[in-house]
């Protein structure tokens, strides 16, 4: 067998890698570092301080951020939960349902939000809400979030389900469990790592969504990303860097959790 | 023990109740017929084995009885009750799966108690029965472990205990021993058979291992390509195979081409090229002409100076410990396998030696193709 080509030997591999990593991560690092800047400047270092983190919670903009954070977190929680329930049902139908009519179409519909440009969904959703005469606000954000969170919850759940043999459910049915009992007592616990992983992913996706939220939020309603955007329009202050760093930390924790839970689940099998 | 013990009635077919009645069952996957009109009558309290090569439809038949497959045509009755319309959870039948399918997130005890829990048996009784089952399969100390913390043989026994705990009328076992090593498999054969006898539950056992089938079964159904070839007790299947497939599939045999001259009362005179004429057991409706006979290797013995029925040249001698296997060549070029007991008096035959063999009375059987 010929030795596989090692891409590390291509010319310029090192430089290209360095460039990509720089573009991706240096801004994040700068934001994180300057969130601890003592001075008000966003470019000149004035010594270490956690002053801006305090400002986020008690400063002049704190009430706005607090309300926005509450909206963001509650919407993310509700949307990811609803999306996960729908995704579990969809995954069971797609993976266990055999070859039913419209299977391909269903799959396409589930994964559509991953492929359609977000701005298109945003505009379409807004048009939809205004056409049917729903007032935009918390409810419309929630509905929009549930919709685009479904595919993110679906992917890890269906991947997990595909790895579970159907003999467990058959064994349960054989031992006098109804369909529903076989699902609740056997399949769902076995799927759980995928379900949790999907939920965490959906939560993060919902938490940091900006474009769609901005279109369907209505006046006076803010989530953290829209509140940050609103604040930045009046000039970037270091408190924005602090709040961004906090969100970054939450995201990293959730994504890591999602990954770890999936890994543990795979080992336990 | 606590289980209902039914007295074994032996083999008097007409007196026994029918546990599973399968009538002309056809199962199609698309245009492929996995079962081509299978009819079987499995008696109450019987250890019944479905035996056949890979892909002959054994699992399909078992799954149809359990309710995991809808049959395309035909009827399946359980103690006289048509169960075709019942979902698996309403059939008083439990299955031991080939890969055991123990619930990995439940302890051994919870696994065993699962069926009872689903049937709504009260907690206390459930626990008592699970403990009793675990004791029966010698796993009392392992109740709190997870299935993944057990060896293959132990998992196997948990699967058995789990399937027996709800006291099914019929237990279905799909090659439950195939994942075990030889020693364990042989031990489990005895254990399974004893379990069947003490519980009095009808066992329907699937295997493609003919030795296993012969060792454990009250009756065997030999299947091939979606059809039942023969049903009978192990001795009948081995000694009186109805056709060539059964003769060749069960045990080792010599199938030799012969010419049949006259047939009467289940006997036929057959001519084997290069030998004197032999008398063979024959089916009633056999017509004279070219046919095959089956002679089991162990039914041949050395003539040792007496009158020989056959002569053959030894090509190879295989030393098997308890037995000697001779691979020999008949004058017409057909090969012949002979098994001799390795007793102290046996001197090893030599390669290339011409030897005379005697055939035991009734050991030549004519086969329908
Ligand atoms: N779901 C299915 N779709 C199509 N064909 C199938 C399906 N299940 C089984 N078959 C076919 O039906 C035939 C019988 O299968 P079955 O599993 O009953 O065989 P088996 O006798 O149990 O074999 P083995 O000893 O290998 O387990 C096989 O040829 C198989 O390919
Ligand atoms: Mg099989």
Whether residue A259 is predicted with pLDDT greater than 60 in this model: the reply is yes
Q: Is B66 on the interface with A (CB under 8 A)?
A: yes
Q: Which of A9-23, A34-48, A116-130, A183-197 has the lowest mean pLDDT?
A: A34-48
- The residue-averaged pLDDT of A198-209 equals 91
On whether residue B123 sits in a domain, the answer given is: no
Closest CA to B367 of B273, B244, B222: B244
Burial of A125 (0-12, 13-18, 19+ CB in 10 A): buried
CATH classification at residue B357: 2.40.50.140
Residue whose CA is at the smallest distance from ligand 1 atom 25: B54
Q: What is the CATH number of the domain that holds B77?
A: 3.40.50.300
pLDDT value of position B112: 94
Looking at the structure, do residues B46 and B185 belong to the same domain, yes or no?
A: yes
pLDDT bin (cut points 50, 70, 90) of residue A3 is low
pLDDT at A211 over 90: yes
B301 is a domain residue: yes
A267 interfaces chain B, CB cutoff of 8 Å:
no
B267 and B364 Cβ atoms separated by less than 8 Å: no
Cα(B68) to ligand 2 centroid in Å equals: 14
Closest CA to A211 of A82, A144, A119, A141: A119
Q: Is the pLDDT confidence value at B111 over 50?
A: yes
* Confidence band, pLDDT 50/70/90 cuts, at residue A190: very high
Question: In chain A, pLDDT over 70 holds for what percent of residues?
Answer: 96
Among the partner-chain residues A176, A189, A190, the one whose CB lies closest to the CB of B118 is A176
A159-173 per-position pLDDT tens digit: 999 999 899 999 999
A61-77 pLDDT per residue, tens = 888 888 999 999 999 99
| B100 found inside a domain | no
B270 and B359 both lie in a single domain: yes
Question: Is residue B291 located within the same domain as residue B263?
Answer: yes
Task: Indicate if the pLDDT at residue B109 is higher than 90.
Answer: yes
Residue B335 near chain A (CB below 8 Å): no
Closest residue of chain A to B98, computed from CA coordinates: A167
Residue with more model confidence, B311 or A169: A169
Total structural domains within chain B:
2
Domain boundary residue among B244, B268, B285?
Answer: B244
Residues of A in contact with B175 (CB under 8 A): none
CA of B57 to the centre of ligand 1 (A): 6
Shared-domain flag, residues B236 and B268: no
**Cβ separation of B95 and A171 shorter than 8 Å?**
yes
B window 73-102, beta carbon within 8 A of A: 87-90, 93-95, 97, 99, 101-102
Average pLDDT of the segment spanning A68-91: 95
Asked whether the predicted pLDDT for residue B94 surpasses 90, the reply is yes
pLDDT at B172 over 90: yes
DSSP state of A8: G
pLDDT at B127 over 50: yes
Which positions 154-183 of B are in contact with A (Cβ < 8 Å)?
Answer: 162-163, 166
In this complex, is the C-beta atom of A31 within 8 Å of any C-beta atom belonging to chain B? no
Q: How far is the CA of B60 from the centre of ligand 2 (A)?
A: 7
Q: Give the best residue of A174, A181, A182, A184 to mutate against chain B (max B CB count within 10 A).
A: A174
Which residue, B337, B312, B335, is CA-closest to B326?
B337
- Residue B277: inside a domain, yes or no? yes
pLDDT confidence bin for B6, thresholds 50/70/90: very low
Contact B104 A269 (CB under 8 A): yes
Residue B69 burial (C-beta neighbours within 10 Å; 0-12, 13-18, 19+): middle
Q: Would you tell me how many other CB atoms lie within 10 Å of the CB of residue A207?
A: 23
CB atoms within 10 A of CB A225: 19
Quick check: B104 and A176 CB within 8 A?
A: no
B60 lines ligand 1 (CB under 6 A): yes
pLDDT category at B1 given cuts 50, 70, 90 is very low
For chain A positions 94-133, those within 8 Å of chain B (CB to CB) are none
Instruction: Name beta bridge partners: B171.
Output: B94, B203
Which structural domain, as residue segments, surrounds residue B207? 3-92+168-244
- B68/A176 touch (CB, cutoff 8 Å), yes or no: no
**CB contact burial A165-187 (16+ within 10 A = b; e otherwise):** eebbbbbbbbbbbeeebbbebbb
Q: Are residues B352 and B263 in the same domain?
A: yes
pTM as predicted: 0.80
Quick one: B260 and B174 in the same domain? Answer: no
Contact A177 B118 (CB under 8 A): yes
Phi and psi at A81, nearest 5°, equal -65, -50
Q: What is the pLDDT at residue A174?
A: 93
Last residue of a domain, one of B218, B244, B270: B244
Strands B323-329 and B310-319: antiparallel
Q: Does ligand 1 lie within 6 Å of residue B294's CB atom?
A: no
Looking at the fold, whether B190 and B298 belong to one and the same domain comes out as no
Residue B111 in any domain: the answer is no
pLDDT band at B9 (very low <50, low <70, confident <90, very high): very low
In-domain check, residue B196: yes
The chain-wide mean pLDDT, for chain B, equals 85
Does the C-beta of B34 come closer than 6 Å to ligand 1? yes
Q: Do A171 and B89 touch (CB under 8 A)?
A: no
Tokens coding B362:
């009734």
Write down the pLDDT at residue A80.
96
CA distance A166 to chain B (A): 9
What does the pLDDT look like over B189-203, one tens digit per residue? Answer: 888 898 899 888 999
B154, B127 Cβ separation under 8 angstroms? no
Residue B109 in domain: no
- Are residue B60 and residue B172 in the same domain, yes or no? yes
For strands B202-207 and B170-174, give the pairing. parallel
Q: Which residues of B touch A168 (CB under 8 A)?
A: 101, 103-104
Helix (H) or strand (E) holding A5: none
Whether residues A268 and B94 touch (CB distance < 8 A) is answered with no
Suggest the residue from A96, A167, A175 to mutate for an interface test with chain B (most B CBs closer than 10 A). A175
Residue A110 tokens read as 């589930």
Same domain flag for B224 and B306: no
Burial class (CB in 10 A: 0-12, 13-18, 19+), B26: middle
The CA-to-CA distance between both ends of chain B, in Å, stands at 48
Q: Is residue B198 domain-shared with residue B57, that is, in the same domain?
A: yes
Counting atoms of ligand 1 from 1, which one is nearest the CA of B57?
A: 18
Question: Which tops the pLDDT comparison, B14 or A22?
Answer: A22
What was the pLDDT predicted at A268? 55
Residue B13 has pLDDT above 80, yes or no: no
- Residues B272, B176, single domain; the answer is no
User: Residue B297 and residue B360: Cα distance in Å, rounded?
Assistant: 11
Of all residues in chain A, the one with the smallest CA distance to B121 is A176
pLDDT at B2 over 60: no
Q: B6 touching A, CB under 8 A?
A: no
Q: Mean pLDDT for chain A?
A: 87
Please name the member of B90, B93, B97 whose beta carbon is closest to the beta carbon of A171. B97
- Written in H, E and C, the secondary structure of chain B is CCCCCCCCCCCCHHHCCEEEEEEEEEEEECCEEEEEEEEEEEECCCEEEEECCCCCCHHHHHHHHHCCCCCCEEEEEECCEECCCCCHHHCCEEEECCCCCCCCCCCHHHHHHHHHHHCCCCHHHHHHHHHHHHHHCCCHHHCCCCHHHCCHHHHHHHHHHHHHCCCCCEEEEECCCCCCCHHHHHHHHHHHHHHHHHHCCEEEEEECCHHHHHHHCCEEEEEECCEEEEEECHHHHHHCCCEHHHHHHCCCCEEEEEEEEEEECCEEEEECCCCCCEEEECCCCCCCEEEEEEECHHHEEECCCCCCCEEEEEEEEEECCCEEEEEEECCCCCEEEEEEECCCCCCCCCCCCEEEEEECCCCCEEEEC
Q: Pseudo-torsion of CA B304, B310, B315, B317, nearest 10°? A: -40
**pLDDT in the model for residue B7:** 39
Confidence (pLDDT) at A4: 65
In a domain, B22, yes or no: yes
Q: What is the pLDDT of residue B274?
A: 67
A168 and B101 in contact by Cβ < 8 A?
Answer: yes
- Model confidence band, residue B355 (pLDDT cutoffs 50, 70, 90): confident
Identify whether residues B73 and B192 lie together within a single domain.
yes
Domain boundary among B222, B244, B266: B244
Bigger pLDDT: B46 vs A103: B46
The partner residue sitting opposite A174, judged by closest CB among B95, B99, B104, is B95
Average pLDDT value for residue range B165-191: 87
End-to-end CA distance of chain A: 33
DSSP A43-108: SS---B--HHHHHHHHSTTHHHHHHHHHHHHHHHHHHHHHHHHHHHHHHHHHHHS-S-TTHHHHHH
């Amino acid at each position: 067998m010929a030795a596989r080509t090692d891409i590390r030997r291509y010319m310029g591999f090192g430089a290209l890698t360095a460039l990509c990593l720089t573009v991706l991560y240096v801004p994040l690092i700068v934001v994180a570092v300057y969130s601890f800047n003592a001075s008000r400047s966003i470019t000149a270092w004035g010594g270490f301080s956690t002053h801006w983190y305090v400002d986020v919670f008690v400063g002049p903009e704190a009430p706005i951020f607090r309300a926005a954070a509450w909206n963001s977190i509650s919407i993310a929680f509700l949307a990811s939960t609803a999306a996960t329930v729908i995704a579990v049902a969809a995954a069971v139908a797609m993976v266990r349902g055999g070859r039913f009519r419209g299977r391909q179409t269903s799959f396409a519909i589930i994964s559509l939000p991953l492929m359609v440009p977000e701005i298109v969904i945003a505009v379409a959703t807004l048009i939809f809400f205004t056409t049917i005469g729903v007032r935009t606000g918390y409810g419309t954000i929630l509905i929009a979030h549930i919709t685009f969170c479904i595919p993110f919850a679906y992917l890890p759940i269906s991947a997990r389900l595909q790895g579970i043999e159907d003999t467990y459910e058959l064994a349960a049915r054989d031992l006098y469990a109804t369909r529903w009992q076989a699902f609740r007592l056997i399949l769902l616990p076995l799927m759980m790592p995928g379900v949790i992983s999907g939920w965490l992913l959906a939560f993060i996706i919902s938490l940091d969504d900006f474009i769609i939220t901005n279109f369907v939020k209505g006046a006076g309603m803010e989530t953290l990303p829209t509140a940050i955007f609103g604040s930045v329009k009046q000039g970037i202050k270091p408190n924005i860097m602090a709040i961004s760093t906090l969100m970054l930390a939450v995201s990293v924790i959730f994504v890591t959790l999602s990954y770890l839970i999936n890994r543990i689940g795979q080992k336990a099998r | 023990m606590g289980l209902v013990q039914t007295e074994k009635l032996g083999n008097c077919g007409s007196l026994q109740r029918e546990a599973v009645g399968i009538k002309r069952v056809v199962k199609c996957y698309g245009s492929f017929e996995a079962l081509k009109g299978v009819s079987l009558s499995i008696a109450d309290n019987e250890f019944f084995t479905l035996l056949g090569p890979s892909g002959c439809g054994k699992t399909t038949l078992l799954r149809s009885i359990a309710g995991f497959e809808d049959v395309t045509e035909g009827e399946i009755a359980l103690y006289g009750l048509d169960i075709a319309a019942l979902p698996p959870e309403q059939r008083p039948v439990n299955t031991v799966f080939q890969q055991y399918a123990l619930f990995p997130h439940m302890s051994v005890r919870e696994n065993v108690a699962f069926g009872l829990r689903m049937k709504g048996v009260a907690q206390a009784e459930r626990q008592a029965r699970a403990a009793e089952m675990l004791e029966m399969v010698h796993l009392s100390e392992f109740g709190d472990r997870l299935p993944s913390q057990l060896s293959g043989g132990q998992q196997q026994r948990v699967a058995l205990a789990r399937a027996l705990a709800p006291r099914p009328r019929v237990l279905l076992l799909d090659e439950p021993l195939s994942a075990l090593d030889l020693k364990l498999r042989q031990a489990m054969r005895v254990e399974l058979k004893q379990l069947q006898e003490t519980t009095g539950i009808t066992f329907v056992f699937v295997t493609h291992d003919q030795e296993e089938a012969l060792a454990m079964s009250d009756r065997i159904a030999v299947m091939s390509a979606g059809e039942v070839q023969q049903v009978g007790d192990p001795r009948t299947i081995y000694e009186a195979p109805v056709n060539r497939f059964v003769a060749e599939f069960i045990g080792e045999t010599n199938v030799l081409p012969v010419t049949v001259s006259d047939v009467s009362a289940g006997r036929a005179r057959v001519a084997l090229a290069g030998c004197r004429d032999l008398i063979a057991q024959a089916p009633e409706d056999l017509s004279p002409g070219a046919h095959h006979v089956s002679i089991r290797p162990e039914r041949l013995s050395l003539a040792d100076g007496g009158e020989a029925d056959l002569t053959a040249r030894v090509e190879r001698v295989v030393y098997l410990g308890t037995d000697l296997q001779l691979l020999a060549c008949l004058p017409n070029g057909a090969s012949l396998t002979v098994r001799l007991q390795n007793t102290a008096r046996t001197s090893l035959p030599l390669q290339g030696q011409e030897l005379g063999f005697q055939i035991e009375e009734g050991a030549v059987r004519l086969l329908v193709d």
